Chain A
Amino acid sequence: MQRVFTNWRRVTALAAVAVLAAAACGGGASPTTGNKVSVIGTWGGAEQESFLAMVKPWETRTGNTVQYTGTRDINAVLTTGVASGILPDLAGLPGPGQMVEWGKSGALKPLDDVLDMATYRADTSSAFVDLGTVDGKVVGVFIKSALKGLIWYNPNYFAGPAPTTWDGVMGTSTGGAEALWCVGVESGAASGWPGTDWIEDFVLRQSGPDVYDAWVAGTLPWSSPEIKSAFDAFGDVLDKSYGGSDTVVATNFGDGGNPLFTDPPGCLFHHQASFITDFFKNQGGAAEGDFDFFAMPDINPAYAGAFTGAGDLFGMFNDRPAARDLLKYLVTVEAQQIWVDRGGALSGNTKVTTYPDEVSKRSAEALGSAKVFRFDGGDLMPTQLQSAFFAAIVEFAQDQGKLDTILTELDAASTAARGG
């Protein structure tokens, strides 16, 4: 991709020179205070507030300021930014797949001499360190993480005990609820992603980490029986979902669990990552104590204790002293504890052990005790394939009869995305 840009660069360079010259003058021989660090991320609303609260102590201490811009379209913003060379100092990255691309091209600056590597390695789970590493250099760090594959319920309607097998979950009597499951996959340009979490959880629990890795890496085709079986299992969930297929595709992921809290309840269970508690409270009208979770049970006992998870990656595009300093601060226990205390996030730092409520404490424990941990597979796939995966979920949720065509198309997308 780099080569195409060289032509553009010559043209844009002329226009950019003026802008950059002005920017450079501003940076200058930098004093340690009074600098501005530009940051772009995907966080808006409550999450944006949490991030700003997280950087506040650093701003007070150093006298520097963080200029944060939130966008849901971060992929397009950063892709054009990398092409034109006009980039924020630090940015939230769309996913490990994109990070690898920008790490290899040199757009992302290596962090090995920015971070205190010994402390970073000691404080961070090795899975996260590896995920942020490209060609032996750390280019991405995790600001927060989330544990996926949690099944949420309302203790007022489901008293337990938590089923220990998947069949047990599916066989639970709905009682007064309208349906067993609530599923909502709408999410603007990323519509479909909540369903990809379902598929990933099924692949990992049904067929194990080796199959999961092969599938994510593209060596196991989508049309193989393992992947098809995961879609079929998701199809069974959809068949037992609140409101039927139109509701599934029309409901935003943030509102997806709301029927748990209506009277009578629309559904008994909702499958979502640990961050969803924020939405329960702010959009579902749930109070503390109205929701609880159990981990999605093992399916094949050979792969017991397997979990999927994700995290928000962060990288540095402009190597400036203030940016370095901020990045160094963001991975510390002090910084990460702030977001954790505000709720809705698990830390990427293993030294953060105090959690504000029982639910996040238990998700953090589950994350720590996972025997097998795999990062969100869709996030690891090339962007083109991930986006096809999202669209495939929407198509499948609306018409399960199309499964074979959908999987064939995904195989084609996989070949195309990997340069076939």
Chain B
Amino acid sequence: MDERLVTAAIVVIGVPAVLVGYILTSERLLGLVDERRRSQIRPWLWITPALLFLIVFLVYPTINTIVLSLQDRAGQAFVGLANYQYFFSNSGTLESLGNSVLWVVFMTGGVVGLGLLVAILLDRVRYESVAKSVIFVPLAISFVAAAIIWSFMYQFRAPGATQTGTLNAAVGLLGLEPVAWIQTAPFNNLALIVIGIWMWTGFAMVILSAGLKGISIEVLEAARVDGATEWQVFRNIILPLLLPTIFVVATTIVITALKSFDIVYTTTNGNFGTDVIARKMYEEMFTNGHFGRASAVAIVLLVTIIPFMALNIRRFREQEALR
């Protein structure tokens, strides 16, 4: 039998068995404690496995990454903030930082804007579910596959030769010269961001559409009866009521945009001025073998994401408080 099957069987049967065993044992142990204390201790016992996983797979690696980011290439000596100094002074990393900002701004704007537009427009048609499914499908494609599909679309052949790329074939039909979409800075960044937008618009649409359905029809009817135009209904009623949902979607996309790696890696590998910080991290780690710098990039990425997470959590709490 294949060794991997044995391993898989051990995992599939073993892991639940261990967990059930843990709960049974802990319940038995709880039986020894008096009734009142039991309900105080039980939640902690139940949460312990999850906490352990969190510590081993999240807290420990984070702390270790922080430590590595203060060390040299091989993690043998402390070098203070040298890796961060490199990050903020090297022209290559600064360029990737700038591009990541472009990703955050344009991808978030594009995904949320288009997602909202599509959600609102499709809310008014009969074939809504079919159209939504079609728009949602790209999210199911892996980033690498999507990037490859789009690099075929963006393909560039010498002017005069048969254009095999979809976009340049179309441009050719209009009698124009082919465009090197992903090779020409600075617009190639946008060409790559479009791939991200294409993938994630479906996600924003689904969430926003659900939010839209949650707005009570009476409120909208009342506004319309009072003579509000459709734009006024959207601007003054739908948008404010949808804002918390938009915020959640935007946070998710901001984080996705900051972490975007696959598209750039697959289409340009950071050439042509399209590098982003996540790819820089990969390069420092796997190409350059520089654990210090790679960890420093990871920490910069983490620190950039934290405010968005914090804002989101605060908003969530505010909403909870309103209920």
Q: Is the beta-carbon distance between B6 and A22 smaller than 8 angstroms?
A: yes
Nearest residue, chain A, Cβ from B91: A409
> Of A18, A259, A383, A398, which one neighbours B161 at CB under 8 angstroms?
A259
Residues of B26-77 whose CB lies within 8 A of A: 56, 60, 64, 68, 73-76
Question: Contacts of A398 on B, CB cut-off 8 Å?
Answer: 183, 272
CB of A395 within 8 Å of the partner chain: yes
Q: Does A214 contact B (CB under 8 A)?
A: no
Interface size class of B (residues with CB under 8 A): 35 or more
Question: Does B156 sit at the interface, judged by CB under 8 A?
Answer: yes
Count residues of A near B (Cβ-Cβ below 8 Å). Answer: 42
Question: In this complex, what residue of A is CB-closest to B2?
Answer: A26
Asked if B183 and A246 sit within 8 Å, CB to CB, the answer is yes
Q: Which of chain A's residues have a CB closer than 8 A to the CB of B6? A: 22
Contact of B286 among A23, A76, A178 (CB under 8 A): A76
**Contacts A4-B75, A419-B73 given; does A188 touch B180 at CB 8 Å:** no
Q: Is the CB of A22 within 8 A of B7?
A: yes
Task: Given A22-B3, A79-B289, A250-B180, verify A242-B158 contact (CB < 8 Å).
Answer: yes
A154 CB → nearest B CB, Å = 16
B142-174, CB < 8 A from A: 155-161
Does A75 sit within 8 A of B, measured CB to CB?
A: yes
Partner of B64 from A7, A80, A259, A394 at Cβ < 8 Å: A7
Q: Mark A20-43, 1 if CB is under 8 A from B, else 0.
A: 001101100000000000000000
Residue of B nearest to A255 (CB): B157
Are A249 and B272 in touch, CB under 8 angstroms? yes
Complex formed: what's the CA distance from A278 to B155 in Å? Answer: 23
Write the nearest CB–CB distance from B303 to chain A, whole angstroms.
22
Q: Is the CB of A3 within 8 A of B161?
A: no
Q: Which residue of B lies closest to A252 (CB)?
A: B155
Residues of A within 8 A of B183 (CB): 246, 249-250, 398
Q: Mark A384-420, 1 if CB is under 8 A from B, else 0.
A: 1001000100110010000000000000000011010
Q: Name the residue of chain B whose CB is nearest to the CB of A393.
A: B271
A1 to B291, CA, bound (A): 8
Interface centre among B182, B184, B270, B287 (most CB of A within 10 A): B287
Give the docked Cα–Cα distance between A113 and B76 (Å). 35
B157 and A247 within 8 A (CB): yes
Closest-by-CB residue of A relative to B154 is A250
Q: How far is the CB of A42 from chain B (nearest CB, A)?
A: 15
Residue in chain B with minimal CB distance to A250: B156
User: Quick check: is A243 within 8 A (CB to CB) of the other chain?
Assistant: yes
CB <8 Å contact, A3 and B76:
yes
- For residue A241, which residue of chain B has the nearest CB? B158
Interface: A159 (CB within 8 A): no
Contact (A75, B286) CB under 8 Å given A11-B56, A391-B270: yes
Q: Is B265 an interface residue (CB 8 A)?
A: yes
Main SS of chain A's interface residues? helix
Which chain B residues numbered 265 to 302 have a C-beta less than 8 Å away from chain A? 265-266, 268-272, 283, 286-291
Inter-chain CA distance A132–B160, complex, in Å, is 46
For window 253-271 of chain A, which residues contact chain B by CB distance below 8 Å?
Answer: 259, 262, 266
With a cutoff of 8 Å between Cβ atoms, the chain B residues found around residue A247 in the complex are 156-158
Q: Determine if B271 and A178 form an interchain contact, defined as CB atoms under 8 angstroms apart.
A: no
How far, in whole Å, are A22 and B184 apart by their CA atoms in the complex? 52
- The distance in angstroms between the C-alpha atoms of A309 and B219, with both chains bound, is 76
B286 touches A1 (CB 8 A): no
Contact A246 B180 (CB under 8 A): yes
A259 to B288, CA, bound (A): 36
Interface residues in A11-64 by Cβ distance below 8 A to B read 11, 18-19, 22-23, 25-26
Please, how many angstroms separate the alpha-carbon atoms of A22 and B14 in the complex? 15
Are A387 and B287 touching (Cβ within 8 A)? yes
Question: Min CB distance, A208 to chain B, in Å?
Answer: 30
Q: Are the C-beta atoms of A416 and B269 separated by less than 8 Å?
A: no
Q: Is B10 an interface residue (CB 8 A)?
A: yes
Complex contact A243–B75 (CB within 8 A): no
Asked whether any CB of chain B lies closer than 8 Å to the CB of A305, the reply is no
Cα-based distance from A4 to B266 in the complex (angstroms): 29
Which residue of A7, A11, A250 has the most chain B CB atoms within 10 A of its CB atom? Answer: A250
On chain A, the residues within 8 Å of B265 by CB distance are 189
- A321 interfacial contact with B, CB 8 Å: no
A383/B288 in contact, CB under 8 A: yes
CA distance in complex: A419, B180 (Å): 38
Residues of chain B within 8 A (CB-CB) of A75 are 286-287
Please, what's the 1-or-0 string for B175-191, where 1 marks a CB less than 8 Å from any CB in chain A? 00000101110000000
Nearest residue, chain A, Cβ from B1: A26
When the two chains form the complex, which single residue of A18, A387, A395, A416 contacts B283, counting CB atoms closer than 8 Å? Answer: A387
Q: Which 9 residue pairs of A and B lie closest in terms of their CB atoms, listed nearest first?
A: A243-B158, A4-B75, A246-B180, A384-B288, A247-B158, A250-B156, A76-B286, A22-B3, A394-B271
A-B CB contact pairs (8 Å), 26 listed: A1-B74, A3-B76, A22-B4, A22-B6, A22-B7, A22-B10, A25-B3, A75-B287, A76-B286, A80-B286, A178-B160, A191-B271, A243-B158, A243-B161, A244-B158, A246-B180, A246-B183, A249-B272, A250-B156, A250-B183, A259-B158, A266-B161, A384-B289, A387-B283, A394-B271, A416-B290
Spell out B's residues near A (CB within 8 Å).
3-4, 6-7, 10, 56, 60, 64, 68, 73-76, 155-161, 180, 182-184, 265-266, 268-272, 283, 286-291
